[in-house]
Structure 1
Amino acid sequence: MACVFQIVGKKDSGKTTTILEVIKELKRKRKDLIIAVVKHSHHVIDDENKDTFKFKKEGADLVIFHSNDCALFFDCKDFDYLSLFPADIILIEGFKDLNLGDKFEIRSPEEAKEIAENISKKAEGCISYPNIEINGEKAQKSLLTFFLYTIMKKYGIKEIRIAD
């Protein structure tokens, strides 16, 4: 499982700035890290007047909204998706009432740099990447191979063979 760090604080306290600093610092040291970010919001993503809402209401299990530059996946059932993230590091902004990982509370933007440094140091100590083989050869680290590994590990799958 990924290293999970949760940044909580009041509005405009520096949560986003802290996360940006952590990403910048970790990527500077290791460009191969896969970092995921979850941002909590009180705003509604999908209101009842939108087609994506109607698709879910009719029974679609997964809805993907795709624009010219981005895709959003809608699956509004539960919060277990964290365990499926193909990431070395998961940074969570918000969800202050939940304990989702190492929690850091920020009170002012001036604390952002120091908290980001603390998170970066902790992250370096918990990152590990498994040896993954595909077709008998060591696989390069990528979002896809990490995603496959994460799903297989979560569900106890040791091997998949495709029979043509």
Structure 2
Amino acid sequence: MVCIFQVVGKKDAGKTKAIELATKMLTQKGLFIATVKHSHHVINPENKDTSRFMRAGAKVVLFHSNDCAIFFPCFDYLRLLPVDVVIIEGFKDLNLGKKFEITKVEEAEEIARQIVKEAEECAQEVKMEVNGRKAERSFENLIIFNLMRHLNIREVKLVD
């Protein structure tokens, strides 16, 4: 199960600092982490190519320049990410996961510790076997695991 946490608060309250600290601590514990940054800027305007591709029916659109952006229908991607924990900065009006509100930078370290504690309780080690052997813990295998879980598939056997 992917654990989802939100850190919300006003500008310069310490949201980024709390997420940065929690991410470092959780990564040191061997967990795979994804972070999501909410922005009020439109990055996929309706009249641009990427939006047109999605309206035409593309399920995933990649925008690649010097940086890379991937467009999915909003929030569908959260359950498919190959990670143990997702930490979201913002989206105060939405309930996407366990929400932590920060009011000042001095609270960042305590909020990071709370996220780490709850993530350790929530994140379960994924046990995967391939041909009877324990599968390596990797992004690729977590992608497969998350897809199988999403589709309610518990086991796959190859048949001739």
Find the aligned partners of 2:46 and 2:149 in 1 and give their Cα distance.
36
Q: CA deviation at 1:47?
A: 2.3
For the pair 1:152 / 2:152, whether they are aligned, the reply is: no
Q: CA deviation at 1:73?
A: 1.4
Q: CA deviation at 1:136?
A: 2.5
Sort the Cα spacing of 1:159 and 1:125 in 2 relative to 1 into closer, same or farther, 3 A: closer
Q: CA deviation at 1:39?
A: 1.4
Structure 1, unpaired ranges of 5+: none
Find the aligned partners of 2:122 and 2:54 in 1 and give their Cα distance.
37
Give 3-state SS (helix, strand or coil) of 2:115's partner: helix
What corresponds to 1:72 in structure 2? 69
Counterpart of 2:87 in structure 1: which amino acid? L
Range that drifts further, 102-111 or 41-50? 41-50
What corresponds to 1:12 in structure 2? 12
TM-score between the two structures when normalised by the length of structure 2 = 0.88
What corresponds to 1:41 in structure 2? 39
Q: Output aligned runs, 1:111-150, within 5 Å.
A: 111-150=107-146
Find the aligned partners of 1:119 and 1:159 in 2 and give their Cα distance.
32
Counterpart of 1:107 in structure 2: which amino acid? T
Counterpart of 1:148 in structure 2: which amino acid? I
Structure 2, unpaired ranges of 5+: none
What corresponds to 1:94 in structure 2? 90
Q: Aligned residues, how many?
A: 160
Find the aligned partners of 1:131 and 1:119 in 2 and give their Cα distance.
23
Counterpart of 2:72 in structure 1: which amino acid? D
Q: CA deviation at 1:36?
A: 0.8
Q: CA deviation at 1:3?
A: 1.6
Q: Structure 1 stretches (4+) deviating beyond 6 angstroms? A: none
Counterpart of 2:78 in structure 1: which amino acid? L
**Deviation readout 1:39-79 (Å, 9 max, x if unpaired):** 111110122454323323443332111235x4321123x42
Counterpart of 1:83 in structure 2: which amino acid? R
Counterpart of 1:97 in structure 2: which amino acid? D
What corresponds to 1:52 in structure 2? 50
What corresponds to 1:107 in structure 2? 103
Find the aligned partners of 1:8 and 1:20 in 2 and give their Cα distance.
14
Give 3-state SS (helix, strand or coil) of 1:92's partner: strand
Q: CA deviation at 1:106?
A: 0.3
Find the aligned partners of 1:151 and 1:109 in 2 and give their Cα distance.
37
Sort the Cα spacing of 1:65 and 1:92 in 2 relative to 1 into closer, same or farther, 3 A: same
Find the aligned partners of 1:146 and 1:59 in 2 and give their Cα distance.
26
Give 3-state SS (helix, strand or coil) of 1:43's partner: coil
Counterpart of 2:88 in structure 1: which amino acid? I
